Amino acid sequence: MPISDDAVLNDLVEQALSLKSIHGKLFIDTSTVHPSTSSAVAEALKAKGAHFIASPVFGASPVAAAGKLIFAMAGSQDQISRVSPYIQDVMGRQIINMGADVHSSSLLKISGNIFVIGFQELIAEAQVFAEKTGLGTARMEEFIGGMFGPVLESYSKRMTSGAYAPPLDTPPGFAVSLASKDVRHALAIAEEKGCQLPTLETAQNRMTKAREYAGESLDSSSVYGIARLEAGLPFWSENSRQGN
């Protein structure tokens, strides 16, 4: 069962806790949840004699299919050693061992998504700038790939290919609803710690507007559609679902 948010994880754990015995069982969560949720789940399972590894992953669906994910694993070091052979060079290209505190791996995942969403926001703005000035999105994308490498180029391609608003029968690479949830966690932690994430605030505002404008079947890169609208361009590009 996909774990889309904290509530789903809590529900699944409650179901597990209701079983007659889970003593010695190992639970591994690869989703993105608030660090406090990971800590609470770990304590609840530990009280029943079970083990818990918080192991959020970095990488979109194509990366997962290629077995190239990055796993940020925290929990019992014995249990991490136990499962590592099934992950390293099988499901993922790297395991980042975050130690015993499951709070830390969830925090790293949320921190990592600051980059993912922030880069998407910046690239969306740059590509709209390129279109409005006549430079052209193709030249901008070539520069992004040459200067910053294939990862940022792939973010650009999600916009220029129209994947930011895919056909309704095609699932998005990183659903806007999940991205918005992750950004809410990051902004809440930032507020708690007395720091600011203005780029993420802009991205969150644009993702919210995109969902209001075009519904939920959007990628997180749909910030591009709203950046286009704000610049006087259509939300839909010629390659997106209502542009072709």
Q: Is the pLDDT of residue 179 over 50?
A: yes
Q: What angle do CA 188, 207, 111 make, to 5 degrees?
A: 40
Give the architecture-level CATH label for domain 107-230.
Orthogonal Bundle (1.10)
CA dihedral 159, 92, 149, 161 (to 10 degrees): -20
Confidence category of residue 100, pLDDT binned at 50, 70, 90:
very high
pLDDT for the residue numbered 1 = 47
DSSP structure class, residue 22: -
Residue 239 has pLDDT above 60, yes or no: yes
Rg of the chain (C-alpha set): 20
Q: Beta strands of the chain (E only): which ranges?
A: 26-29, 51-54, 57-58, 69-73, 92-97
- pLDDT over threshold 50, residue 26: yes
Token digits of residue 118: 């922030």
Exposed e or buried b for every residue in 118-139, given b needs 16+ CB within 10 A?
A: bbbbbbbbbbbebbeeeeebee
Q: How many CB atoms lie within 10 A of CB 86?
A: 10
Q: Which of the four pLDDT bands, split at 50, 70 and 90, describes residue 171?
A: confident
Nearest to 138 by CA among 239, 68, 225: 239
| Res 193 pLDDT > 50 | yes
Note the pLDDT of residue 77.
94
Q: Cα(107)–Cα(112) distance, rounded to whole angstroms?
A: 9
Angle between helices 223-230 and 198-214 (to 10 degrees): 90
Residue 58 or 3, more confident: 58
pLDDT of residue 125: 98
DSSP three-state, residue 45: helix
Q: What is the pLDDT of residue 60?
A: 76
In whole angstroms, give the CA distance from residue 184 to residue 204: 8
pLDDT, position 243: 62
Give the per-residue pLDDT at 169: 87
Sequence-ordered list of residues with C-beta below 8 angstroms from that of 238, at least 6 positions apart, any chain: 162, 244
Q: What is the mean pLDDT of residues 150-159?
A: 94
Tell whether the model's pLDDT for residue 2 goes beyond 80. no
Domain locations along the chain: 6-100, 107-230
Instruction: Tell me what the mean pLDDT of segment 14-37 comes to.
Output: 92
pLDDT digits (tens, 9 = 90+) for 197-231: 999 999 999 999 999 999 999 999 999 999 999 99
The residue-averaged pLDDT of 142-169 equals: 94
Q: Position 100: which residue type?
A: A
Mean pLDDT taken over the chain: 93
pLDDT of residue 62: 78
Whether domain 6-100 has CATH 3.40.50.720: the reply is: yes
Q: pLDDT digits over 30-83, tens only?
A: 988 999 999 999 999 999 999 999 999 998 777 888 899 999 999 999 999 999
User: Considering the entire predicted model, what is its pTM?
Assistant: 0.87
